[in-house]
A and B are shown apart, each in its own frame.
Chain A
Amino acid sequence: DGGITQSPKYLFRKEGQNVTLSCEQNLNHDAMYWYRQDPGQGLRLIYYSQIVNDFQKGDIAEGYSVSREKKESFPLTVTSAQKNPTAFYLCASSIPLKETQYFGPGTRLLVL
């Protein structure tokens, strides 16, 4: 089945630690996105990538980094510079010229 997978489902981070959230898609979509969702809030864009080896900052990129070495994969690293990382993280993908984004199941990040 085609779709978007995110792992892990839950992730715990210690103070000063970098952690990486995985996002993989087999939909053959060129564009991929990372969003953050806080309680009682809508989603906010962290980073997006329109094509392999290229990515752009979204509205809240500080404290995060990404890479796009393969079309299928768009991992997000939450660095120690992100002081309030506790949130639900959603990955999405879409076909350029087709504006609908499809979402993965999400990763819940908690700080120990």
Chain B
Amino acid sequence: AQTVTQSQPEMSVQEAETVTLSCTYDTSESDYYLFWYKQPPSRQMILVIRQEAYKQQNATENRFSVNFQKAAKSFSLKISDSQLGDAAMYFCAYRSTMYSGGGADGLTFGKGTHLIIQP
């Protein structure tokens, strides 16, 4: 079974600064998907960014980018120009492609990192 580890329970950053959230995972598969989700106080899970393991290029979405190190099984999220609205819980998630074609067996989540933005 796959596992996802987020070693930083809480991170704090000054507004407009850059912060990096860490995520490592364990899998024996060669093809899979990785995600970062944001959960604000409303508790709605919002997709931030996704990465396909077969792609070497790191995904980028505006101020959000990832550093995907497949050999090291590392998937960190970098938030540039941090804004007050970025304050939330951030979850790293893994999805197998083993059963692709049917939506498979769901996402495996880490325990999350609470991101605090200091004004």
Interface residues of A (CB under 8 A from B): 30-31, 33, 35, 40-45, 48, 50-51, 56, 58, 88, 90, 92, 94-97, 99-106
Contact = CB atoms under 8 A, between A and B. Distances in A.
A100 B101 contact: no
Contacts of A31: 102-103
Interface string B14-53: 0000000000000000000101010000111111001000
Contacts of B79: none
Contact of A48 (B35, B47, B97, B103): B103
Contact of B111 (A40, A58, A104): A40
A51 B43 contact: no
A33 B102 CA distance: 12
A96 to B, nearest CB: 5
B66 to A, nearest CB: 15
A57 B43 CA distance: 24
Nearest to A31: B103
Interface centre among B44, B50, B107 (most CB of A within 10 A): B107
Contacts of A33: 106-107
A96 B42 contact: no
Contacts of A51: 102
Nearest to B42: A105
A109 to B, nearest CB: 13
A106 B102 contact: no
A34 B37 CA distance: 16
A106 B4 CA distance: 23
A97 B8 CA distance: 32
A48 B103 CA distance: 9
Nearest to B114: A40
Given A88-B43, A100-B50, A103-B45, A43 B107 contact: yes
A96 B105 contact: no
B107 A101 contact: yes
